[in-house]
Amino acid sequence: MTSETTHPPKIVIRAGTVADLRAALSDGWQDFLKAPGFGLFFGGFFALGGIAILAMTWALGLSYLAYPTAVGFSLIGPFAAVGLYEVSRRLSAGQDLVWRDVLDVIFAQRRREIGWMAFVTMFMLIMWMYQVRVLLAIFLGFQSFTSFDGFLTVILTTYDGLAFLILGHAFGAVLALILFSATVISFPLLLEQEHDFITAMITSFKTVTMSPLVMIGWAAIIGLTLYLSMLPAFLGLLVTLPVLGHATWHLYKRLISFET
């Protein structure tokens, strides 16, 4: 009696171009227009999460952490967009969009490798908040701030405050780039295929290093868009998160293929 081991298909990575970015953004916008209810639902859920976290910082008297907390919260965007990847996958495959089916796929991820990627994402968020606290202690001591305005005055009008601001953004950019490189391909890959999360992260890093200018450009577009979307009380995320999520799926499909 013989047994056969089923191996996942071989992953093939293609170098990306600026044309791929344009096409992915266009396709992402079209997916949002085709299924606006899903986009607004997932975008709204993410926006409400950001508002809740900010409200918590104010309620705990930590309003000076509102800005770094808001920026750090954007790091979990790839995980929040898993539902959008599923919507785009179904639209591309010509499948019906049924709320129950889409949500069932999302809930099922807790038993798959995406659960480990969620852990990676949360770890990077913790690292982000930790480095903020360390830099605060180094440059501003352990002084407390009674208001967010007072905190802004210190960091914008003192040398120590400006050093904290510059280094904080520099370290944050490095962490964001690492997380982007680890997740931009891995999340949609794990949604579509039964690979392990280590292989998915390696594939994601390889994709970024194969087309560094294109992929870093995509990271910059995502970062700037999410940053601007958070300014109006996170409400801009209602549209920008779904469009970026759909576009990420289409970029993944343009750069990744499989051989059996």
Cβ atoms of residues 31 and 245 within 8 Å? no
Q: Is residue 8 part of a domain?
A: no
pLDDT at 21: 95
What token pair was written down for 257?
Answer: 């293929």
Q: Is residue 10 part of a domain?
A: no
Q: Is residue 102 part of a domain?
A: yes
pLDDT at 1: 39
Task: State which residues form the domain around 137.
Answer: 17-253
pLDDT at 52: 84
Q: Using alpha carbons, select from 79, 68, 47 the residue that is nearest to residue 229.
A: 47
pLDDT at 144: 66
d(CA 97, CA 90): 7
DSSP state of 143: -
Q: Using alpha carbons, select from 32, 37, 141 the residue that is nearest to residue 99.
A: 37
Domain count for the chain: 1
pLDDT at 14: 94
pTM: 0.85
Q: Is residue 156 part of a domain?
A: yes
Cβ atoms of residues 177 and 96 within 8 Å? no
Cβ atoms of residues 88 and 246 within 8 Å? yes
Q: How many other C-beta atoms can be found within 10 angstroms of the C-beta atom of residue 76?
A: 19
pLDDT at 76: 74
pLDDT at 142: 63
Q: For every one of its 260 residues, what pLDDT tens digit does the chain have, with 9 covering 90 and above? A: 344 456 778 899 999 999 999 999 999 999 999 999 999 999 998 888 888 877 887 777 776 677 777 777 777 777 778 899 999 999 999 999 999 998 888 888 777 788 888 888 888 888 888 888 888 888 888 666 666 777 778 888 888 888 888 998 888 888 889 999 999 999 999 998 888 899 999 999 999 999 999 999 999 999 899 888 887 778 888 999 999 999 999 999 999 998 87
**Residue 13 phi/psi, 5° resolution?**
-105, 130
**H-type alpha helices, the chain:** 18-34, 36-59, 66-73, 77-80, 82-93, 99-108, 114-140, 148-157, 159-183, 186-192, 197-210, 212-230, 237-255
DSSP state of 5: P
Q: Is residue 184 part of a domain?
A: yes
Q: Is residue 11 part of a domain?
A: no
Q: Is residue 199 part of a domain?
A: yes
Residues 6+ apart with CB under 8 A from 243: 25, 28, 29, 32, 39
Q: Is residue 218 part of a domain?
A: yes
> 3-state class of 178 per DSSP?
helix
